[in-house]
Chain A
């Protein structure tokens, strides 16, 4: 029995929600708009919203001056590599905890979560030192491993809550019907686990992409991803809002698009199991 809603009320809801939505989105919109302005228009008083001379010049300048593609590539490798590596390690672990739970499963899960609470800054120097000693400072491989480790507890935790949702009875039923272990995994478990794994992958890609403690502290030039690329804009030199905006837009665009496309899965990923 759906509730009847008057058109009037729906209209009020719509107007109100759109206003708030646009307000929250506004900083991003403003950044994107500013990236197409000239530097003079970017700081004009009063501000101009749409009626300015649209230009792509800022993008060209930013790319030329700072080699955007290299930072982008580093971001892709670091975020993608750490996520895939994390999944390879976490899937079996979460799987066994969900389907063969023991008395200690809960303790292990809790302990894993507690390692995530270890403040990064508390181990900054040891990691820094180890990186120097092992020749990992400013390398992609070193940073990939660190990003994988800091997100591993979240990956395991998320996967566990997903796998937990898969009813054990289905497996038993399949077994009764004579399915082999291989068939069981291939035809029954995998299809049910894929959405959970995909959501986990996505969320961790985003978290790793946006990670800005280790990426700022353990990179210099070669392995620096987009977070560091943007931080290099933090010392202003004259008129630079439009270029800052262009650089920012380029840094967030890939993940913004990815996030929007997979919005539904993201909602499931962030909440499944943890919020019912």
Chain B
């Protein structure tokens, strides 16, 4: 029952947020588009004029492009798969009656609070180092040859580090969702003789669908932008150069702004494809 008056008040209250975000989106975006059509090398001659779609063609035809797209997708999907599957299992476990549940939950959540540069450095040096790392000690203990994680299994290493950081987030949200499940429904199913697997498949999992959607959405936003974990560990070598990292190198390391900006436009398009897909699901949830 909003009146005309409250409507205009609402508009004013919304204005700062909308205007700021609009500016934050449009100004840099316009500049990126502008640079992407220029030959622009700040350290080697500066603005060298318009060159049409040259940067776009060069960025895609460079040998680094497709591998970087592939790397990005492997990391995002790998982490999502691990965190959602383990998150569901962990949430189911933590939902069971036990002693010290609160403490266990604290232990599980902790990695979420660790800043990315710290977790990357700790994993890189203290766990994955082929000589002094703890995993190397473990391998040697079992008589195996230690793995050179970051050079021989670089993608798995990075997925492992990032998944460790995001598993708590998934677990936490899924646990809360499970706890909101009507336990009488489960008991009724149990009394009717439904085995655990079908109780999980027909009651728990459908109930979790919404939570899983949220987890996937929020994580994807952050995972597409993974940066520090690569910056600190491999610096993009050994096939760990994601699209984000490739553009970062073009823009800040080789100072080829035109080319990097064209790459930026591609990254934005890629992110939007994912976004449209995900937003539709969230939009549906907003209605419900």
Asked if A and B are interacting partners, one says yes
**Chain A: residues with CB nearer than 8 A to chain B?**
1, 3, 5, 9-10, 13-14, 16-18, 20-22, 24-25, 27-28, 30-31, 34, 43, 45-47, 89-90, 92-93, 95-97, 99-100, 102, 106, 108-110, 112-130, 149, 152-153, 156, 206, 209-210, 212-213, 216-217, 226-228, 230-231, 233-234, 236, 241, 244-245, 248, 251-252, 255-256, 258-260, 263, 266-267, 270-271, 274-276
Report the 8 A-B pairs with minimum CB-CB distance, sorted nearest first. Answer: A123-B28, A96-B10, A212-B228, A122-B264, A126-B31, A92-B13, A21-B107, A93-B17
Check B197 for interface membership: any CB of A closer than 8 A: no
Q: Give the B interface residue count (CB, 8 A).
A: 106
Q: Are B99 and A14 touching (Cβ within 8 A)?
A: yes
Q: Are B132 and A248 touching (Cβ within 8 A)?
A: no
Measured in the bound complex, the distance between the Cα atoms of B107 and A21 in whole Å is 5
Q: Are A245 and B28 touching (Cβ within 8 A)?
A: no
Nearest chain-B residue to A217 (Cβ)?
B252
Assuming the A-B contacts A3-B183, A24-B111, A123-B28, are A117 and B274 also in contact, with contact meaning beta carbons closer than 8 angstroms in the complex? yes
Q: Are A122 and B268 touching (Cβ within 8 A)?
A: yes
Q: Are A10 and B251 touching (Cβ within 8 A)?
A: no
Q: Shortest distance in angstroms between B216's beta carbon and chain A's nearest beta carbon?
A: 12
Q: Are B17 and A89 touching (Cβ within 8 A)?
A: yes
Q: Shortest distance in angstroms between A149's beta carbon and chain B's nearest beta carbon?
A: 5
Measured in the bound complex, the distance between the Cα atoms of B233 and A260 in whole Å is 28
Check B162 for interface membership: any CB of A closer than 8 A: no
Question: For A28, A121, A260, which residue has the most chain B Cβ atoms within 10 angstroms?
Answer: A121
Write out the residue numbers on chain A whose beta carbons fall within 8 Å of the beta carbon of B96. Answer: 10, 13, 17
Assuming the A-B contacts A13-B98, A21-B108, A110-B279, are A212 and B115 also in contact, with contact meaning beta carbons closer than 8 angstroms in the complex? yes
Write out the residue numbers on chain B whose beta carbons fall within 8 Å of the beta carbon of A217. Answer: 248, 252
Measured in the bound complex, the distance between the Cα atoms of B287 and A110 in whole Å is 12
Q: Are B104 and A227 touching (Cβ within 8 A)?
A: no
**Chain B: residues with CB nearer than 8 A to chain A?**
2, 6-7, 9-11, 13-14, 16-18, 20-21, 24-25, 27-29, 31-32, 35, 90, 93-94, 96-101, 103-119, 121-127, 132, 134, 137, 140-141, 164, 167-169, 172-173, 175-177, 180, 183-184, 187, 210-211, 214, 221, 224-225, 227-228, 231-232, 243-244, 247-248, 251-252, 257, 260-261, 264-265, 267-268, 270-272, 274-275, 279, 282-283, 285-287
Nearest chain-A residue to B268 (Cβ)?
A122
Measured in the bound complex, the distance between the Cα atoms of B218 and A6 in whole Å is 38
Assuming the A-B contacts A13-B93, A124-B247, A267-B172, are A117 and B232 also in contact, with contact meaning beta carbons closer than 8 angstroms in the complex? no
Q: Are B180 and A276 touching (Cβ within 8 A)?
A: yes
Q: Are B108 and A212 touching (Cβ within 8 A)?
A: no
Nearest chain-B residue to A240 (Cβ)?
B125
Nearest chain-A residue to B180 (Cβ)?
A276
Q: Are B271 and A27 touching (Cβ within 8 A)?
A: no
Q: Are B97 and A10 touching (Cβ within 8 A)?
A: yes
* Chain B, interface SS category: helix
Q: Are B117 and A24 touching (Cβ within 8 A)?
A: no
Q: Are A109 and B286 touching (Cβ within 8 A)?
A: yes
Q: Shortest distance in angstroms between A32's beta carbon and chain B's nearest beta carbon?
A: 10
Q: Are A231 and B108 touching (Cβ within 8 A)?
A: no
Q: Shortest distance in angstroms between B241's beta carbon and chain A's nearest beta carbon?
A: 12
Measured in the bound complex, the distance between the Cα atoms of B171 and A17 in whole Å is 13
Q: Are B98 and A14 touching (Cβ within 8 A)?
A: yes
Q: Are A230 and B225 touching (Cβ within 8 A)?
A: no
Nearest chain-B residue to A23 (Cβ)?
B107
Given contacts A3-B183, A45-B137, A156-B17, 13 further A-B contacts (CB under 8 A): A3-B187, A16-B93, A25-B107, A27-B126, A106-B286, A123-B32, A124-B251, A125-B261, A125-B264, A209-B115, A244-B122, A244-B125, A248-B118
Question: For A92, A123, A156, which residue has the most chain B Cβ atoms within 10 angstroms?
Answer: A123
Write out the residue numbers on chain A whose beta carbons fall within 8 Å of the beta carbon of B228. Answer: 212-213, 216, 227, 231
Assuming the A-B contacts A5-B97, A18-B100, A275-B173, are A126 and B118 also in contact, with contact meaning beta carbons closer than 8 angstroms in the complex? no
Measured in the bound complex, the distance between the Cα atoms of B173 and A112 in whole Å is 22
Q: Shortest distance in angstroms between A124's beta carbon and chain B's nearest beta carbon?
A: 6
Write out the residue numbers on chain B whose beta carbons fall within 8 Å of the beta carbon of A259. Answer: 109-110, 112-113
Q: Shortest distance in angstroms between B253's beta carbon and chain A's nearest beta carbon?
A: 11
Nearest chain-B residue to A276 (Cβ)?
B180
